[in-house]
Structure 1
Amino acid sequence: MYLAPIVLFVYNRPWHTQQTIEALQKNDFASESELFIFSDAAKDERSFKKVKEVRNYIKSIDGFKKITIIERETNWGLANSIIDGVTKIINEYGKIIVLEDDLVTGPYFLKFMNEALCFYQNEEKVMHITGYSYPVNTEELDDTFFIKPASCWSWATWDRAWKYYKKDTNFCIEKFTKKMIYDFNLNDAYKYFDQIVKNKQGKINTWAIFWYASIYLRNGLSLHPKKSYVQNIGHDGEGIHCGKSSVFNVELIQEPKLNFTTVITEDINARKAHEKYFNSIKISFYKQIMNKLKRILNLS
């Protein structure tokens, strides 16, 4: 099996980066895989020390077939760095596995991702594979399933799919009808499309929502495992776009093999499970806000 290159994007979080690397080193196939690390430059003096610390650390690691480090000379920002890095590597290798510096993988993550890339290589409708699975109710779910949303807390794809990536807010706003937005938002369980609007308004600068939109507009699907191969440790308040929360915590799967579904359509049970989960998160966040207000009022 021809293994996909791993591309890791790092910035100014030394501890998170170390957790990500050490977990990846324990993976099956790690020693046979090429690793590309894109290190963004500091955007201000406050970030300079930690960026340097991250760069010193990544220069000391081993455990992979080959390690290539790309140090940005100026601050690109996460979105621009990922778009540029993924495009360059995928155009050369034809497929790719992508991680950021706050994703801790289980020991069979690389095995799952590479086998999925091989299994669905010629399925045009399959455009995205993720190793992360939200903590939804899995009672009625198969080992793997397809839904429309693309989780980018670890992901993989092919050049045949990535060529359709388009980060264009005007294009998306023009193309999406109200009916499409409702479906895109999982029947309004999660306000995905709001991210496109916020990019248009200049409030955020992200890339992943446009990848989901690009897949959606091609009628593509994203493969998810029933249980997660990845834990996101970035919701501790230090990330660029992540607040502090525990609602996305999962237990990592310890099984080396899952059965890949051959039904290339959106799994209705999986979709409903995700809608229910995201709706429950909204209630959870509302309770957090109300409890915070109560504490403030009691202190005043």
Structure 2
Amino acid sequence: MVAPIALFAYKRPSELTKTLAALQANHLASESELYVFVDGPRSEKDVLKVEQVRQIVREITGFKTVHRMISDHNIGCADSIIQGVTQVLKVHPTVIVVEDDIVTTPNFLDFINQSLAQYADDKRVFSIGGYTFPFKKPDGYQADGYFFGRHCAWGWGIWADRWQEIDWNITDFQQFMNDSGQRRAFNRAGMDMVRMLRKTMEGKLDAWDIRVCYNIFKKGKQTLYPTVSKVENIGFYSADGMNTNVYNRFKTVLDPGLKREFLFTKQVTEEDLFARQFRWKYSLQVRIFAKMLTYAGLR
């Protein structure tokens, strides 16, 4: 069964056009149901671009079915995604999620769908990611994916039963913040973890993905990442990017998109070389260096 796609858009018509073109070029596009969620304008200055996005969405073709959910008011980034994914998973067992600044390779849907089928009954696997840094593979590593305990928010898939496990309110937040050992453990998935969770809980960051990361951490689950990226985030160069106006330290090497059958590992654990490279990419040193390049005007 081919998973439906949930596409989230707001006020980036140019980026959405590229995102849609890439999705339409996927081998499985014509077999996939597409649910498009368009958030409403936050202020008067957003009205024109939101309307341009709505017009693009009205004209979408190339998928099995297109369901259009266009909001007349602003829901917000996090709530829009949480509500939209929840809506789709009420009628489907799985979903593939893409935002309007994500360009996918032609085999992105193949990889996510096969991964969802492969690990459907293995509850150690919480979600499937489409993006990866261009990491070095361990010698002799044959699988097309690796595991790490951090959710991938750039083109991803999930099962309804895993989604239903998420505590969006983070009810144990204060207990967690009072436990230095837990904070250190959470930051092993990246030195930005605790900081982002705190900002989200304080209402300073409109984020949904850090809450997914926290639930993965608390439950000891894993996310499957591809060994070669099936996704590129183009939002770093967008004037209308909601969260990106910085040096892009996430540049990657994209899969050519020709391979359509993938080999999966049965070892649902973090492989040491991948894990060390992943932690380095989210280390304080790399973040500081990226900020220096941002201040220097590099993108």
TM (norm. structure 2) is 0.91
Distance 1:112-1:248 versus aligned 2 partners, 3 A rule: same
Instruction: Assess if the C-alpha contact under 8 Å between 1:135 and 1:248 holds in 2.
Output: no
Shift of 1:181: 2.1
How do 1:49-88 residues align onto structure 2 when only pairs under 5 Å count?
Answer: 49-88=48-87
Instruction: Provide Cα deviations, 1:258-295, integer angstroms capped at 9, x if missing partner.
Output: 31111012222211011222335224225326757xxx
For the residue of structure 2 that corresponds to 1:263, the secondary structure is coil
Taking the aligned partners of 1:139 and 1:282, their CA distance within structure 2 comes to 25
Taking the aligned partners of 2:46 and 2:115, their CA distance within structure 1 comes to 37
Taking the aligned partners of 2:171 and 2:240, their CA distance within structure 1 comes to 31
Shift of 1:169: 4.5
Matched, 1:245 2:247: yes
Instruction: Assess if the C-alpha contact under 8 Å between 2:137 and 2:273 holds in 1.
Output: no
How do 1:35-50 residues align onto structure 2 when only pairs under 5 Å count?
Answer: 35-50=34-49
Taking the aligned partners of 1:212 and 1:269, their CA distance within structure 2 comes to 21
**Which residue in 2 is equivalent to 1:164?**
165
Distance 1:291-1:84 versus aligned 2 partners, 3 A rule: closer
**Which residue in 1 is equivalent to 2:186?**
184
Match of 1:284 among 277, 289, 294: 289
**Which residue in 2 is equivalent to 1:219?**
220
**Which residue in 2 is equivalent to 1:200?**
201
The amino acid across from 2:110 in the alignment is: K
Shift of 1:164: 1.1
Shift of 1:249: 1.5
Distance 1:250-1:289 versus aligned 2 partners, 3 A rule: closer
Shift of 1:222: 0.3
Shift of 1:12: 0.3
Taking the aligned partners of 2:74 and 2:215, their CA distance within structure 1 comes to 26
Give the number of equivalent residue pairs. Answer: 290
* Percent identity for Structure 1 against Structure 2: 30
Distance 1:13-1:290 versus aligned 2 partners, 3 A rule: closer
Taking the aligned partners of 1:207 and 1:93, their CA distance within structure 2 comes to 21
Taking the aligned partners of 1:38 and 1:267, their CA distance within structure 2 comes to 36
- In structure 1, the gaps of 5 or more residues are 293-300
For the residue of structure 2 that corresponds to 1:185, the secondary structure is helix
Distance 1:283-1:30 versus aligned 2 partners, 3 A rule: same
The amino acid across from 1:25 in the alignment is: Q
Instruction: Provide Cα deviations, 1:47-67, integer angstroms capped at 9, x if missing partner.
Output: 000000000011112000000
How do 1:248-287 residues align onto structure 2 when only pairs under 5 Å count?
Answer: 248-254=250-256, 255-279=259-283, 281-287=286-292
The amino acid across from 1:278 in the alignment is: Y
- Give the root-mean-square deviation of aligned CA atoms: 1.8
The amino acid across from 2:114 in the alignment is: E
Q: Flag as ranges the 4+ runs of structure 1 deviating above 6 A.
A: none
